[in-house]
């Protein structure tokens, strides 16, 4: 392994930054992970991640990457109380008003809180001698060479320090700062253009509350999932187990049908999701208040389309593309992007020039499938607003959205389509696999065949 490069800096200590630091530990003598918060040792919530109280999930592809980068961590999480479950057999799913059949898939996910996941990832990373967490610092800007063609470090401001500012040099800088990343402004400051942005906002809000499940609760599911049904039924919800014998209850409403956070309103919303959902919530003991969240638009910055890009600089995770979090894609797409970064560094054999721009193009390809699924679902609501680059969708994009919608309509009656969609939804296979001729024929038969006409 080539170690001509010495130091990498990762901006942001959330999940995307943790994935990135782990990958870079295989290629650099020193990896500095800069974080504005004090990072707890255990699974505690922190101010820098206000959505940490909400439900989170890691898709199957993300879990595969977790197993590869942190061997044995899945078992550690289960020992800490995370719940393994089959993606179909253990999930009671009502999709567009219809209960789907259940059968074993062999695809096992784990359910746990985000604070537990992050705490265990941090604990593993602290065991790498080359990884160092630098806490309580704000990144105020980028350092570049004289020609402004290469990023050579960052400016940081220390909180509560006699030496408030400092310049840190690095061979590579990675922005994993999330949706509020200031990279567009930093680029302008270096003489580069801002990226075009695409945005799709279905005005979805959701609330999450933790419960203690009833001692003798009888159900044949580990997770209960009620999906919304566009364009007229914008409400959905889920109940899934977490560590410490806890249920995470989440309810969501699109099209500005925001679920309330007061007790009476919360229960009324739960009742509207059906007798199964309401009975479970009503029988459980509330442990927390209901926490709301509304920053759910999907927002994509098209860095890959810029004609100029500074060397030795990479943007990934929500800083590159933030998805509507209701679909649970963000952590897994960040993991996939971190792997690509490692592959590009390896391919460069120590030469990091050009790595950033090559990564951006590949991140865009990774993003395309998840973006199609998330925004395609959100466009089904009358109040949805698209802006920026997403307003200029072509015929292919319109057809893709229509086709995926027809495919989802057929899932309750076609096991083959359901398994194919599951692989794509779990980001194990690309969205293009759903357009294979055999699958398209099945979708068209369900859409226009004799049974469809009879219905």
d(CA 68, CA 47): 30
Is this structure's pTM higher than 0.75? yes
- Given this model, what pLDDT does residue 452 score? 57
d(CA 129, CA 107): 34
Omega cis (within 30) before 231: yes
d(CA 67, CA 65): 5
Sign of the torsion formed by the C-alpha atoms of 68, 71, 75 and 76:
negative
Where the chain has pLDDT below 50, the residues are: 1-3, 453-455
Closest-CA residue to 170 (of 191, 151, 146): 151
Inter-CA distances, 64 with 21, 51, 67, 332, 428, Å: 17, 24, 5, 10, 9
Closest-CA residue to 152 (of 138, 142, 165): 142
Residue 333 near residue 370, CB atoms below 8 Å: yes
Burial (0-12, 13-18, 19+ Cβ within 10 Å), 441 = exposed
First to last CA, the chain: 61
Domains of the chain: 7-56+116-199+297-375 (3.50.50.60), 88-110+203-293 (3.30.70.2450), 394-454 (no CATH)
Residue 191 near residue 185, CB atoms below 8 Å: no
d(CA 39, CA 367): 29
SS (H, E, C) the chain: CCCCCCEEEEECCCHHHHHHHHHHCCCCCEEEEEECCCCCCCCCCCCCCHHHHCCCCCCHHHHHHHHHHCCCHHHHHHHCCCEEEECCCCEEEEECCEECCCCCCCCEEEECCHHHHHHHHHHHHCCCCCEEEEECEEEEEEEECCCCCEEEEEEEEECCCCCCEEEEECCEEEECCCCCCCHHHHHHHCCCCCCCEEEEECCCEEEEEEEECCCCCCCCCCEEEECCECCCECEEEEEEEECCCEEEEEEEECCCCCCCCCHHHHHHHHHHCCHHHHHHHHHCEECCCCEEECCCCEEEECHHHCCCCCECEEECHHHCEECCHHHCCHHHHHHHHHHHHHHHHHHHCCCCCCHHHHHHHHHHHHHHHHHHHHHHHHCCCCCCEEEEHHHHCCHHHHHHHHHHHHHHHHHHHCHHHHHHHHHHHCCCCCHHHHHCHHHHHHHHHHHHCHHHHHC
């Amino acid at each position: 392994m080539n170690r001509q490069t010495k130091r990498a800096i990762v901006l942001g200590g959330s999940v995307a930054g943790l994935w990135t630091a782990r990958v870079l530990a295989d290629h650099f003598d020193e990896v500095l992970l800069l974080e504005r918060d004090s990072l707890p040792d255990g699974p505690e919530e922190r101010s820098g991640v206000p959505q940490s109280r909400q439900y989170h999930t890691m898709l199957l592809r993300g879990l595969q990457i977790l197993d590869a980068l942190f061997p044995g961590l899945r078992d550690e999480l289960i020992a800490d109380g995370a719940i393994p479950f089959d993606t179909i057999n253990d999930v009671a799913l009502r999709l567009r008003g219809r209960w789907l059949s259940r059968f074993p898939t062999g695809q096992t996910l784990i359910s746990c809180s985000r604070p537990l996941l992050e705490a265990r990832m941090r604990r593993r990373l602290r065991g790498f001698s080359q990884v160092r967490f630098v806490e309580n610092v704000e990144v105020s800007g980028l350092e570049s060479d004289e020609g402004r063609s290469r990023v050579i470090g960052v400016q940081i401001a220390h909180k509560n320090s006699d030496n408030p500012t400092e310049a840190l040099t690095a061979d590579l800088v990675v922005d994993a700062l999330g949706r509020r990343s200031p990279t567009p402004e930093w680029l302008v400051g270096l003489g580069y253009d801002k990226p075009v942005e695409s945005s799709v906002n279905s005005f979805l809000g959701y609330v999450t509350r933790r419960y203690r499940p009833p001692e003798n609760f009888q159900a044949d599911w580990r997770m209960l999932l009620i999906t919304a049904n566009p364009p007229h039924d914008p409400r959905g919800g889920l109940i899934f187990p977490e560590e410490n014998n806890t249920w995470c209850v989440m309810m969501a409403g699109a099209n500005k049908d925001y679920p309330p956070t007061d007790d009476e309103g919360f229960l009324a919303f739960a009742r509207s999701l059906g007798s199964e959902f309401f009975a479970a919530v009503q029988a459980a003991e509330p442990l927390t208040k209901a926490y709301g969240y509304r920053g759910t638009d999907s927002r994509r910055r098209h860095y890959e389309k810029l004609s100029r890009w500074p060397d030795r600089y990479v943007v990934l995770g929500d800083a590159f593309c933030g998805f509507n979090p209701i679909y649970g894609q963000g952590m897994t797409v960040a993991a996939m992007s971190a792997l690509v970064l490692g592959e590009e560094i390896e391919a460069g054999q120590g030469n990091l020039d050009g790595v950033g721009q090559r990564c951006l193009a590949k991140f865009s390809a990774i993003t395309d499938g998840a973006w199609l699924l998330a925004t395609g679902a959100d466009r089904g609501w009358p109040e949805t607003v698209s802006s920026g680059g997403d307003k200029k969708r072509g015929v292919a994009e319109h057809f893709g959205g229509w086709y995926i919608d027809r495919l989802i309509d057929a899932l309750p009656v076609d096991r083959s389509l359901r398994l194919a969609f599951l692989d794509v939804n779990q980001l194990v296979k690309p969205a293009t696999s759903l357009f294979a001729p055999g699958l398209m024929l099945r979708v068209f038969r369900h859409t226009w065949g004799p049974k469809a006409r009879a219905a």
